[in-house]
């Protein structure tokens, strides 16, 4: 399948590479000419065969609004735009309505997987019409982790549902990290436990608090005991991929 990708940062570039490895024809555009396949968005659109599919992977807010507005001027009826950034779910209705005036479809897709998605796949939460979702399913199937579709992909509902689901997902993620941090503090402050890091590692198997986030925390501690230089630390995938 052919598609355009606007935004080739850490997420967008890795997603484009995963799609290419799956056999898709991806034309990418980025403001950085060193990584861009085309000089501008107009050239990207011109290089796609109709009906076109364009994935927008740029920062939420003005950058996404500008990209959608530009695509609205360039695309034709029957084309499809997918916003895979972290846009506010209320912005999706505005973007969808603007594109609908041109007969262009719109999907919002919450994406989870970070820098490990290229290897492990991405968790996808999509909002929009069933027909538009089905049309882009080959893309979603290539981006999601291997295994059953419903363990890495969901058509969450109408326009806005994908980004709403991702917003809640992020809240859960931050809550988990906060809970681990408080647990560490409690273990360390009391003085009864002498191997705090060992406790966290022991929780990575067989307990109800195990998670990929916990695996990454343990790996970080093993590679940087005491978390010295943690600001510069870039973890590699844990052994539990795609959780």
The 10s digit of each residue's pLDDT in 26-46 is 999 999 999 999 999 999 999
Q: Is the pTM of this model over 0.75?
A: yes
The 10s digit of each residue's pLDDT in 174-231 is 999 999 999 999 999 999 999 999 999 999 999 999 999 999 999 999 998 866 665 5
Q: Domain check: are 147 and 190 in the same one? A: no
Is it the case that residue 65 has pLDDT exceeding 50?
yes
Residue 95 is predicted with a pLDDT of: 96
Q: Domain check: are 177 and 122 in the same one? A: no
Q: Domain check: are 23 and 95 in the same one? A: yes
Does 40 map to a domain?
A: yes
Residue 237 is predicted with a pLDDT of: 38
Residue 115's pLDDT band, with cuts at 50, 70 and 90, is confident
Does 241 map to a domain?
A: no
Residue 236 is predicted with a pLDDT of: 41
Single residue among 110, 130, 158 that ends a domain in this structure: 158
Q: Domain check: are 29 and 54 in the same one? A: yes
Average per-residue pLDDT in the chain?
92
Q: Domain check: are 223 and 154 in the same one? A: no
Q: Which residues are the active-site residues?
A: 166, 173
Does 126 map to a domain?
A: yes
* Mean pLDDT score, 115-128: 96
The rounded distance, in Å, linking the Cα atoms of 39 and 230 is 38
Single residue among 109, 130, 158 that ends a domain in this structure: 158
Does 78 map to a domain?
A: yes
Does 239 map to a domain?
A: no
Q: Domain check: are 20 and 128 in the same one? A: yes
**What CATH number did the domain enclosing 209 receive?**
1.10.1040.10
Residue 232 is predicted with a pLDDT of: 45
By residue range, what is the domain housing residue 203?
167-232
* Mean pLDDT score, 3-26: 96
Is it the case that residue 173 has pLDDT exceeding 60?
yes
Residue 198 is predicted with a pLDDT of: 95
Single residue among 106, 126, 158 that ends a domain in this structure: 158
Does 92 map to a domain?
A: yes
Residue 235 is predicted with a pLDDT of: 41
Q: Domain check: are 18 and 136 in the same one? A: yes
Residue 228 is predicted with a pLDDT of: 66
Q: Domain check: are 221 and 117 in the same one? A: no
Q: Domain check: are 131 and 211 in the same one? A: no
57-81: buried (b, 16+ CB within 10 Å) or exposed (e) per residue?
bbeeeebbbebbebbbebbeeebbb
Q: Domain check: are 69 and 174 in the same one? A: no
Could you tell me what percent of the chain has a pLDDT over 70?
A: 93
* Mean pLDDT score, 81-90: 96
Residue 195 is predicted with a pLDDT of: 95
Max avg pLDDT among 148-157, 219-228, 230-239: 148-157
- Please tell me the total count of domains within the chain: 2
Q: Domain check: are 102 and 214 in the same one? A: no
**What CATH number did the domain enclosing 95 receive?**
3.40.50.720
Does 237 map to a domain?
A: no
Q: Domain check: are 121 and 203 in the same one? A: no
Does 242 map to a domain?
A: no
């Amino acid at each position: 399948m052919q598609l355009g990708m606007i935004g080739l940062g850490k997420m967008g570039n890795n997603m484009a590479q995963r799609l290419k490895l799956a056999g898709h024809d991806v034309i990418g555009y980025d403001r950085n000419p060193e990584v861009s396949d085309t000089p501008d968005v107009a050239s990207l659109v011109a290089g796609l065969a109709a009906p076109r599919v364009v994935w927008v992977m740029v920062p939420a807010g003005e950058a996404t609004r500008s990209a959608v507005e530009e695509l609205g001027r360039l695309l034709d009826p029957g084309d499809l735009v997918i916003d895979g950034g972290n846009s506010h779910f209320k912005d999706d209705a505005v973007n969808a309505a603007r594109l609908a005036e041109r007969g262009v479809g719109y999907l919002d897709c919450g994406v989870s997987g970070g820098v490990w998605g290229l290897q492990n796949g991405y968790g996808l939460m999509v909002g929009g019409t069933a027909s538009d979702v089905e049309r882009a399913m080959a893309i979603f199937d290539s981006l999601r982790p291997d295994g059953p579709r419903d363990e890495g992909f969901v058509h969450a509902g109408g326009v806005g549902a994908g980004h709403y689901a991702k917003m809640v997902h992020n809240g859960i993620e931050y809550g988990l990290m906060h809970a681990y941090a408080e647990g560490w503090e409690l273990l360390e402050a009391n003085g009864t436990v002498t191997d705090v890091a060992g406790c966290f590692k022991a929780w990575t198997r067989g307990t109800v608090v195990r998670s990929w986030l916990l695996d990454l925390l343990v790996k970080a501690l093993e590679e940087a005991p005491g978390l010295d230089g943690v600001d510069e630390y870039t973890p590699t995938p844990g052994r539990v991929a795609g959780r």
